[in-house]
C-alpha cells in the first residue's frame, strides 16, 4: 500500500441534494489515485461519538450520483462537545469529544472529511484545534456559509422553489388571489431572492430587509387597481417586520441551533387579507426544497468539491474548507468559516436588478 491512507467521511446538518455526489467523488478519487481505505460514519457526529461506521468501496458509491439525501445518514443535533442525553423528560448535555477523538485514533484515520453547514464545520474546526486532521466541504441549500460564494444544494433548491412558484402563478391568476410562497433559508434570503426573481415574484421578502406590512398591503392594492388581480409574494422563513422578530415554529433543545423557523407565510397571509380585503393563500415549500435529484450543476459542483478535498488530503492540507472565490475553488481556514452565516449584502447586484424591474422588497416601492 505504500503511502496509502485511511480516511473517513461524515455528513452533518440538514440533508441536501448533492451530498451523495460528494461522497462518491471523495471515495472514487481516493481509491483510484491513492488506494486509500475509505469509511463512512453513520448519522453525522452520532457515528463518530459512538463508533458507528462502515467501509465505502468503489462499488458502494457507484450509482449514487443522482440520489438525493445521504447514504450515510445525518443529524442536526449531534455535537461531540455538547452531546445530548435524554433522562426521562429532561435533556442533559455532556462533552463526548474525547470519545470522538478516541474513535479517530483507534481507527488510525489520517483525515476526517466533514460535509455540512456552518454548524457541522464549526464542530470540525474544534476537532481540528484538538488535533484531528480535518477537511470541510460546504453543504447547505441556504447558501449561507461564510467564505464561499456558493454551496452545493442551493441550485437545486432554487430550481424546486422556482418550479413551485411557476405553478402557483396559474392558480393565482385563475382565482384572482394573492399567493404567498414561503421558502427555507434560515436567516438568509438567498433562496427567496433567486427563486423570486427567476419566477417573476411581485414581492420578495427576505430577512436582510425588514418589511413594512402596510407598504406590502398597499403594493397589493395598487396592483389590483391597475388590473393586476393577482400578486405573487415570495417570503423567506427568516423574514421579519420592521421592529419585530422572525416567526419561530418550535425549539429543539438538544440542537446546536435550537430555533426552527417557519410560519411567516401564514402570518403574512392573514395580515394581507385583513388589510386588503383580497383573498390570500399560503403555500410552504418546506422540506420539498431539500429532497430529490440534484440539478446537473449541483452534481458537477459537488464532484469538484469532493475531488478537491482528496487533493488536499494528498497534500496534507488540513484545517481548511474547500470554498469558491471569484468562481474558482479555494482553500479557506475552518476558523474563518465558523465565524457566522453569509447573508445578502444590501448593495448586492441582484437587489438593485430586481428593484429596477419593479420588484418590491417590503421597504419601498416605486
* 3-state secondary structure (DSSP) of residue 28: helix
**C-alpha angle 313/293/64, rounded to 5°?**
45
| CB 193 within 8 Å of CB 143 | no
Measure the CA angle with vertex 187, ends 184 and 192; round to 5°. Answer: 45
Place of cell 387597481: 225
Q: Which three cell numbers stand for residue 222?
A: 395598487
- Annotated catalytic, 60? no
Question: Computed from CA positions of residues 271, 285, 175, 201, in that sequence, does the dihedral angle turn out positive or negative?
Answer: positive
Lookup: cell for 93: 448535555
Pick the catalytic residue: 15, 43, 118, 142? 142
DSSP state of 201: -
From start to end of the chain, where are the E strands? 6-11, 37-41, 53-55, 83-87, 90-94, 111-116, 134-138, 178-183, 203-205, 231-236, 248-251, 259-261, 280-284, 320-325, 328-333
Residues of 307-318 as b/e, b for ≥16 C-beta within 10 angstroms? bbbbebbbeeeb
Q: Which residues are identified as catalytic?
A: 142
Amino acid at each position: 500500500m505504500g503511502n496509502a491512507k485511511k480516511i473517513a467521511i461524515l455528513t452533518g446538518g440538514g440533508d441536501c441534494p448533492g451530498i451523495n455526489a460528494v461522497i462518491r467523488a471523495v471515495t472514487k478519487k481516493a481509491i483510484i489515485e491513492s488506494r486509500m481505505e475509505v469509511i463512512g460514519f453513520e448519522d453525522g457526529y452520532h457515528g463518530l461519538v459512538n463508533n458507528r461506521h462502515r467501509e465505502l468501496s468503489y462499488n458502494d458509491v457507484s450509482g449514487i450520483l443522482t440520489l438525493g439525501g445521504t447514504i450515510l445518514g445525518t443529524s442536526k443535533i449531534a455535537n461531540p462537545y455538547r452531546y445530548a442525553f435524554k433522562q426521562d423528560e429532561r435533556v442533559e448535555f455532556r462533552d463526548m469529544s474525547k470519545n470522538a477523538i478516541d474513535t479517530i485514533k483507534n481507527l488510525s484515520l489520517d483525515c476526517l472529511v466533514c460535509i455540512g453547514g456552518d454548524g457541522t464545520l464549526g464542530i470540525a474546526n474544534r476537532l481540528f484545534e484538538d488535533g484531528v486532521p480535518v477537511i470541510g466541504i460546504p453543504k447547505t441549500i441556504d447558501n449561507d456559509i461564510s467564505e464561499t460564494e456558493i454551496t452545493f444544494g442551493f441550485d437545486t433548491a432554487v430550481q424546486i422553489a422556482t418550479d413551485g412558484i411557476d405553478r402557483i402563478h396559474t392558480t393565482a391568476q385563475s382565482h384572482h388571489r394573492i399567493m404567498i410562497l414561503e421558502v427555507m433559508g434560515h436567516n438568509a434570503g438567498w433562496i427567496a431572492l433567486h427563486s423570486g426573481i427567476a419566477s417573476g415574484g411581485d414581492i420578495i421578502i427576505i430577512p436582510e430587509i425588514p418589511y413594512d406590512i402596510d407598504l406590502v398591503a398597499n403594493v397589493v392594492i395598487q396592483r389590483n387597481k391597475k388590473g393586476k388581480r393577482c400578486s405573487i409574494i415570495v417570503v423567506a422563513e427568516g423574514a421579519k417586520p420592521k421592529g419585530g422578530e422572525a416567526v419561530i415554529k418550535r425549539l429543539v433543545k438538544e440542537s446546536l441551533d435550537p430555533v426552527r423557523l417557519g410560519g411567516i407565510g401564514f402570518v403574512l397571509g392573514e395580515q394581507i387579507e385583513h388589510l386588503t380585503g383580497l383573498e390570500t393563500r399560503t403555500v410552504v415549500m418546506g422540506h420539498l426544497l431539500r429532497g430529490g435529484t440534484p440539478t446537473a450543476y449541483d452534481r458537477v459542483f459537488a464532484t469538484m468539491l469532493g475531488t478537491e478535498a482528496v487533493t488536499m488530503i494528498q497534500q496534507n492540507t488540513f484545517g481548511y474548507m474547500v470554498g469558491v472565490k471569484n468562481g474558482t475553488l479555494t482553500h479557506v481556514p475552518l476558523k474563518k468559516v465558523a465565524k457566522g452565516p453569509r447573508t445578502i449584502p444590501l448593495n448586492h447586484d441582484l437587489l438593485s436588478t430586481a428593484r429596477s424591474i419593479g420588484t418590491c422588497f417590503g421597504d419601498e416601492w416605486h
